[in-house]
Structure formats: C-alpha cells, structure tokens
A and B are shown apart, each in its own frame.
Chain A
C-alpha cells in the first residue's frame, strides 16, 4: 500500500480498518544470494539499497529479536554532518543528503526535522577549535555558522549564559542537522526492503558462520541452517561476538550508553543543543519529552543498562547548562550496547574471508549514518569493492596506521 494524503483520508472514512502490516514477517528459505545479519537501521538500509540500487532481491535480513529492538530504537535521534577529517566528511554529508530525501525515497513519514544542531563553546580555545571545524565543513560545501553569545541567546535564552565556571560564549550551528524519528527509520526501511522482495526474518539469531574452502557458504541460526553466497554483518554492539565465530578479533569494545526522557512539556526548545564543558545534549521530542544524554559509562558492557555514576554526571552537565531542568522529572532512562572502535570511526569493508563483509564500529553516533551506511555497505557487498565514500573505513587501517581519530585521543575506546 502506498501512503499518501488520499490513503489517510480514505482510511479515516473506513474506520482505519484496511491498513495492512507494513512488511512481511518472513520465514527463512533454504538459501539467499545475500544474508544481512542484524535487523537494525544499518542492516535494513543495506537490504533496501541492495534491492533498490543493485537489483539484488534474493536477500534476507536476520534479526535475533524484533526489528527496532537494538540501538536503532534506543538512540537520541540526532543527525548532523559536522565532521572535520577526510574520510568522515564526505560520508556523513552523503548521509545528511540522503536524510533530506529519505521520506520521498521510501514513501514513509520518518519525521525528518532539520531543527539545527548547536554545539556550544565556553572558552576561547574551544571557539578556535569550532571555527576550524566550521571552516573545514564549509570548504567541503557543508553548512556551518559560528555564533557569538548574543546569537545563541536569541535562539535559546533560557540557558545559563553567565555560569561562573562554564559561561556560554557562543556556538557552532549546523542548521541542516536535527532529528529523525528513530523507530520510523527502522520501520520505513523494513517496509521498503520487504516491498522489493527482501525477507525480514525476526527471532532468528545467527549462531555460526559456515565456510567451505575459505568461502562463506551460509549461517547457522536458531531457526536452522540458511545458505548464502554472501553474508554481511551489521550487528552493532554484537560485532565482536559475530567476528569470533570466524576467529576474527576486532578493534572494538562494546560499551553501554544511557539516554533519558523527561515528562512531557509544551514546546520549549526547538533545536538540538550540546554543552561544551561536559558531555550533555538535549532536544525535545514531538511528544513533548526532553530527550537527553551524555557520555558512555566507559567500561565494557553487554548489559544494556548503565550505572548511577554516569546518570549523576549527565544530570550535573544538564544543570550547569540549563538550571531550569532541575524542576523536571525524568520519566525513564535506558541503555544500548555500542560498538566503540579504537579510533572512534566506523568500518565498512570486506574481510579476509571471501563472501564475508563487515559493518561495525559506529560508536555512539551511528544513527545519523544509517542511510549512507546502507548505501555504502550495499555497494561493497554487490561489487565486492568499497564505494569511494567508504574507501577510508577499512578494517586494515589499524595495521597501516591510516586511522581516522576525530577526537585525537588514541586507541582508547572510552575516550572517543
């Protein structure tokens, strides 16, 4: 069914009775041309692009739980392309451009909202660093504006500009950044892929990867063996576990990141703001809750829940930035397992095993990458070679030294 104003009106008169499921809940076939492991945003987007751009439709997405149960349904929905380093810059800008036409491409309301992302600075040194970043973006044709204190005041007057320790001096604004409804991204790609012939198979965990003569031939799953000519891994926090099935050790640690939502409020903040003197960021969902978060907990974890020390730290950051937050109640908080890479940048590459491809290392910022990641991973799988946009996201960059360390902190995942 195609969604349109007309279909919404028709259903309104029919008592909403004729809506059909958005995608087929498929059972596994004996074999596929391509199996994508992981039904998160990246896996589903990859399947969509395999079918749409490369005509490869005999594809299955295997998800151990249900679609949307992973980080795609847990993130704080922020999208931006304010990167500095070659490798990252063109990739994230491609992603931003794909967000801008996503809803038309997949005929789905993903609530893409270019409300702007404003990174605050509190010191002269930070202003210089943001000026450099903004210039780097503009040289590459990406929008960026360096704002002074008055300009920031005009946008978000309720912040604590004269805080004794962390006065707000200004900010770097990317107006094209913003938020996208995370669940809708998963559902929209699932529907678009399914419509193009892709089997989306839920409650199907991959337990082994089979090889013959050094080539991948299929996967063992909790729903039996499924053959495949090619297998792409897009399992985010579980990447090391899948890699271990073929005796690979990845430059990745799994860490927990916590997000929070407050009780619902009337419209209060119409952009995304990040605090520059600690780690805290906030936006408001269309339901009215303030959505906010901060640092990862900082230790290896597969628990999907964080600890109080980090929660305290996030709240302190929030209070330093916006004291009015203290009057609010937190409705809930939750965690997700992040695939933190050793240089803070992702991997989209072939592996040394023929027919096995890897998409991993997204850290806490892989939501914004979803469309471009799917686009590039599908290209890499279909052509057995990377696209120019992911040519820098190689797995062997850790051996060659061509790491992409946006923060410049070295091989320490909890600092990225």
Chain B
C-alpha cells in the first residue's frame, strides 16, 4: 500500500503512522456529556468499505493527513491535509 502524500508524493505506508477514524469530533465545553465522550473515545462505525482516517507522515513531511481508503481492498480514493479538513469543518460550524 502506498499513500500519495500531498506534500511528498507516493510513499510506502511504512512511513506513516495510523491514528484511526477521522470523523469523531471531540465534544467540547458543556457538550462533553458522559454519553458524548463515550461515543467519541470508544465507539466506531468500523465500516467495511470507504473509510476517512487519520495518518501521520512521520518519516516524511510530518503532516497529518485525512486518507479516504476502502477497508476491503486498501484502495485509496483521496488524500488531503488534515489541517484543511479541520478548517473546513470549523468554517462550517462558524456559519451562524
């Protein structure tokens, strides 16, 4: 498996570290109820199919990436900087 890092190009997956599903967002402030934290910390969809996930390019540019990968075939459909994905999410939240 190779990951096409937007900074470094196509690199062996051994250069990257995996964190997990990219979708859970940490509940903050008063939203952080025990139930919400249980969901965030422990529960996962764990789909057999496309999965958005966080990878860290530790042996390269040291960027966090959001990779969209099919867990049945390991085919990678999309790779983006996690920073951009996070900013896009925040921008959505900021809309009044």
Within 8 A of B (CB), among A378-416: 398-399, 411-414
B62 within 8 A of A: no
- From A303, A312, A414, give the contact of B72 (CB < 8 A): A303
Please tell me which one of the listed residues A249, A300, A411 contacts residue B51 in the complex, with CB atoms under 8 A apart. Answer: A300
CA distance A252 to B46 in the complex (A): 7
The answer to whether A56 has its CB under 8 Å from any CB of chain B is no
Q: How many A-B residue pairs have CB under 8 A?
A: 75
Asked if B13 and A254 sit within 8 Å, CB to CB, the answer is no
Instruction: Decide if A250 touches B43 in the complex (CB within 8 Å).
Output: yes
Question: What are some 22 contacts across the A-B interface (CB < 8 A)?
Answer: A240-B47, A249-B44, A250-B43, A253-B20, A299-B13, A299-B53, A300-B51, A300-B53, A302-B48, A302-B71, A303-B72, A307-B1, A307-B13, A309-B13, A309-B14, A398-B38, A398-B42, A398-B43, A399-B38, A411-B41, A413-B20, A414-B20
Could you say which residues of chain A place their CB within 8 Å of the CB of B1? 307, 309
Cβ of A298 within 8 Å of any chain B Cβ, yes or no, is yes
Minimal beta-carbon separation of B76 from chain A (angstroms): 11
Check B9 for interface membership: any CB of A closer than 8 A: no
Q: Give A165 to B82 CA distance when docked, in angstroms.
A: 36
Interface residue A301 (Cβ < 8 Å from any Cβ of B): yes
Min CB distance B36 to A, Å, is 12
Q: Per-residue 0/1 for A295-311: is the Cβ within 8 Å of any B Cβ (1 yes, 0 no)? A: 00011111100011100
Interchain CB contact under 8 A, B42 and A251: yes
Contact status B43-A249, CB under 8 Å: yes
A412 to B56, CA, bound (A): 15
A254, closest chain B residue (CB): B46
Proximity bits, B13-46, A CB within 8 Å = 1, else 0 = 1100111110000000000001100110111111
B18 touches A298 (CB 8 A): yes
Chain B interface residue count, Cβ-Cβ cutoff 8 angstroms: 29
In the complex, how many residues of chain A place their beta carbon closer than 8 angstroms to a beta carbon of chain B?
27
Chain B's interface: helix, strand, loop or mixed, by majority?
mixed
Contact assessment for A300 and B46 in the assembled complex, using a CB-CB cutoff below 8 Å: yes
Interface residues in chain B, defined as those with a beta carbon under 8 Å from any beta carbon in chain A:
1, 12-14, 17-21, 34-35, 38-39, 41-48, 51, 53, 55, 69, 71-74
A313 CB to nearest chain B CB (Å) = 8
Residues of chain A touching chain B, judged by Cβ–Cβ distance below 8 Å, are 240-241, 244, 249-254, 298-303, 307-309, 312-313, 342, 398-399, 411-414
Complex Cα distance A250/B47, Å? Answer: 11
* A249-B48 in contact (CB<8A): no
Asked if A251 contacts B71 (CB within 8 A), the reply is: no
Can you add 13 more A-B contacts, CB < 8 Å, to A254-B71, A301-B71? A240-B47, A251-B43, A251-B44, A253-B21, A299-B13, A299-B55, A300-B53, A301-B74, A309-B13, A312-B14, A313-B14, A342-B41, A414-B18
Contacts of A411 in B (CB 8 A): 41-42
